[in-house]
Amino acid sequence: MAERSASGLWTALKQRFERLKYTVKPRADAEWIRLRFADFKMVGEYNSALHRICTTLRLCGTEITDSQKIEKTLSTFHPDAVQSSRNYRQGNYRRYSELIDVLQVAEAQDEVLKKNFVAQPLGGSSRQEVNALKVRKPQQKKRGRKGKKKGHHPPPPRPG
């Protein structure tokens, strides 16, 4: 840009990025519509995607409120987690950050439970105790007949 004054530069930049928002905003709106909590394995991944979309929309002049973020999150839980969604709704969160903090704590607790289960599955301890009581006799190596090596025969007796 060949602008020399601050106001001229500001006007040129504003015009350039004003046009850009007409291509960026529809894409961000579509991402917001498609965004679902159930599509992410980790709460942090969902939170990151939500903030990226909200930042893009804010740059385009659309502000997403905390109540919209909370509603988007709770309404897009996996169908198997409907009861969890209801429980979180009863928390009456006013700030999105509070909801995400609670979801991350629950996720961390779930991970601990999963690791504990993998480390010792249900009923695993009783089987280990039973196996620990069994004493095995050491196996002896089998050799030929009566302890002699196979293929070794004594010489025949000599007549005489």
pLDDT digit string, tens, across residues 139-155: 666 666 555 555 556 66
Cα 71 to its chain centre, rounded Å, is: 22
Q: CA–CA separation, 57 vs 51, rounded Å?
A: 10
Question: Would you state the structure tokens that stand for residue 154, as one six-digit string?
Answer: 């004594």
Listed residue (55, 65, 3) closest to 28, CA to CA: 55
Question: Coil, strand or helix: which one is 85?
Answer: helix
Q: What does the domain layout of the chain look like in residue ranges?
A: 10-120
Question: Coil, strand or helix: which one is 154?
Answer: coil
Q: Which residue's structure tokens are 């850009």?
A: 20
Predicted TM-score of the model (pTM) = 0.65
What would the pLDDT profile of 1-40 be if each residue is shown by its tens digit?
A: 566 889 988 888 888 778 878 889 999 999 999 999 999 9
